[in-house]
Amino acid sequence: MKYRSILLSKKWCFLLFIVFLYGCASQISLKEHSNEWISRPLSELKQAMNSPDSFASKIGWKETTYPLVNGNSVFVEPFSTDCSLHWEITPSGTIIGYRAVGSGCEQESGSDKSIYQTITAPSKYY
Protein backbone atom coordinates (compact mmCIF):
# COMPACT_ATOMS: atom_id res chain seq x y z
CA MET A 1 0.00 0.00 0.00
CA LYS A 2 2.81 2.41 0.87
CA TYR A 3 4.57 1.64 -2.44
CA ARG A 4 1.35 2.42 -4.34
CA SER A 5 0.91 5.85 -2.69
CA ILE A 6 4.56 6.74 -3.41
CA LEU A 7 4.06 5.73 -7.04
CA LEU A 8 0.89 7.83 -7.28
CA SER A 9 2.58 10.87 -5.75
CA LYS A 10 5.46 10.58 -8.23
CA LYS A 11 2.97 10.48 -11.10
CA TRP A 12 1.23 13.61 -9.76
CA CYS A 13 4.56 15.42 -9.39
CA PHE A 14 5.50 14.48 -12.95
CA LEU A 15 2.10 15.63 -14.25
CA LEU A 16 2.38 18.97 -12.42
CA PHE A 17 5.90 19.42 -13.79
CA ILE A 18 4.65 18.87 -17.37
CA VAL A 19 1.82 21.37 -16.85
CA PHE A 20 4.33 23.90 -15.50
CA LEU A 21 6.61 23.42 -18.51
CA TYR A 22 3.69 23.80 -20.88
CA GLY A 23 2.74 27.09 -19.22
CA CYS A 24 6.27 28.42 -19.60
CA ALA A 25 6.58 27.31 -23.21
CA SER A 26 3.20 28.68 -24.25
CA GLN A 27 4.12 32.32 -23.59
CA ILE A 28 4.33 34.17 -26.89
CA SER A 29 6.98 36.79 -27.61
CA LEU A 30 6.10 40.39 -28.36
CA LYS A 31 7.37 40.04 -31.93
CA GLU A 32 5.31 36.88 -32.57
CA HIS A 33 2.21 38.48 -31.08
CA SER A 34 2.55 41.68 -33.09
CA ASN A 35 3.24 39.87 -36.36
CA GLU A 36 0.10 37.80 -35.79
CA TRP A 37 -2.11 40.92 -35.71
CA ILE A 38 -0.69 43.12 -38.51
CA SER A 39 -3.23 43.49 -41.37
CA ARG A 40 -6.08 42.04 -39.31
CA PRO A 41 -9.24 43.81 -38.14
CA LEU A 42 -9.15 45.56 -34.79
CA SER A 43 -12.46 43.88 -33.95
CA GLU A 44 -10.69 40.48 -33.86
CA LEU A 45 -8.01 41.82 -31.50
CA LYS A 46 -10.68 43.27 -29.21
CA GLN A 47 -12.47 39.93 -29.18
CA ALA A 48 -9.23 38.14 -28.23
CA MET A 49 -8.57 40.71 -25.48
CA ASN A 50 -12.03 40.01 -24.03
CA SER A 51 -11.09 36.35 -23.47
CA PRO A 52 -10.78 35.54 -19.76
CA ASP A 53 -7.27 34.16 -20.44
CA SER A 54 -5.95 37.40 -21.93
CA PHE A 55 -3.61 39.66 -19.99
CA ALA A 56 -5.99 42.60 -20.60
CA SER A 57 -8.89 40.74 -18.97
CA LYS A 58 -6.80 39.56 -16.06
CA ILE A 59 -5.80 43.12 -15.14
CA GLY A 60 -9.20 44.67 -15.87
CA TRP A 61 -7.95 46.84 -18.75
CA LYS A 62 -10.22 49.63 -19.96
CA GLU A 63 -10.16 50.37 -23.69
CA THR A 64 -7.77 53.19 -24.56
CA THR A 65 -7.50 54.94 -27.93
CA TYR A 66 -6.19 58.23 -29.28
CA PRO A 67 -6.25 59.91 -32.70
CA LEU A 68 -3.30 60.51 -35.01
CA VAL A 69 -2.77 63.55 -37.24
CA ASN A 70 -2.88 61.40 -40.40
CA GLY A 71 -6.49 60.31 -39.76
CA ASN A 72 -5.60 56.94 -38.28
CA SER A 73 -5.96 56.15 -34.60
CA VAL A 74 -4.09 54.20 -31.96
CA PHE A 75 -5.54 51.39 -29.89
CA VAL A 76 -3.55 50.47 -26.78
CA GLU A 77 -3.24 46.83 -25.73
CA PRO A 78 -1.45 45.87 -22.51
CA PHE A 79 0.97 43.07 -23.42
CA SER A 80 2.62 42.39 -20.07
CA THR A 81 3.63 44.20 -16.92
CA ASP A 82 5.23 47.51 -17.97
CA CYS A 83 4.72 46.85 -21.70
CA SER A 84 1.89 47.87 -23.99
CA LEU A 85 1.38 47.77 -27.72
CA HIS A 86 0.13 50.93 -29.41
CA TRP A 87 -1.54 49.61 -32.56
CA GLU A 88 -2.03 52.00 -35.49
CA ILE A 89 -5.51 51.51 -36.91
CA THR A 90 -6.89 52.76 -40.24
CA PRO A 91 -10.31 54.44 -40.34
CA SER A 92 -11.69 51.16 -41.75
CA GLY A 93 -10.48 49.29 -38.65
CA THR A 94 -7.38 47.48 -39.98
CA ILE A 95 -4.22 47.16 -37.89
CA ILE A 96 -1.30 48.50 -39.96
CA GLY A 97 1.52 48.93 -37.45
CA TYR A 98 2.45 49.20 -33.82
CA ARG A 99 4.88 50.56 -31.32
CA ALA A 100 5.94 48.75 -28.14
CA VAL A 101 5.91 51.14 -25.17
CA GLY A 102 7.30 50.51 -21.70
CA SER A 103 10.32 49.33 -19.79
CA GLY A 104 9.00 45.75 -19.73
CA CYS A 105 9.06 45.34 -23.52
CA GLU A 106 11.70 43.00 -24.87
CA GLN A 107 14.48 44.50 -26.96
CA GLU A 108 15.03 43.50 -30.57
CA SER A 109 18.47 42.37 -31.73
CA GLY A 110 20.52 44.80 -33.83
CA SER A 111 20.26 43.17 -37.29
CA ASP A 112 16.62 42.20 -36.81
CA LYS A 113 15.62 45.66 -35.65
CA SER A 114 15.71 47.49 -39.00
CA ILE A 115 13.70 44.77 -40.78
CA TYR A 116 11.25 44.62 -37.88
CA GLN A 117 10.65 48.38 -37.90
CA THR A 118 10.28 48.48 -41.69
CA ILE A 119 7.60 45.78 -41.74
CA THR A 120 5.65 47.26 -38.86
CA ALA A 121 6.54 50.94 -39.21
CA PRO A 122 3.96 53.09 -37.46
CA SER A 123 2.86 56.46 -38.75
CA LYS A 124 5.51 59.19 -38.82
CA TYR A 125 3.14 61.27 -36.71
CA TYR A 126 3.45 59.36 -33.53
Nearest CA-CA partner of 38 in 114, 96, 113, 123: 96
Q: In what order do the strands lie in the sheet with 95-101?
A: 64-67, 73-80, 83-89, 95-101
Q: What pLDDT, on the 0 to 100 scale, is given for residue 66?
A: 97
Reported as type and span, the H/E element at residue 66 is strand 64-67
pLDDT mean for each 10 residues of the chain (126 residues): 57 45 57 93 96 93 95 96 95 96 72 38 48
Neighbours of 34 (CB within 10 A): 22
Q: What pLDDT, on the 0 to 100 scale, is given for residue 106?
A: 73
Residue ranges per structural domain of the chain: 28-119
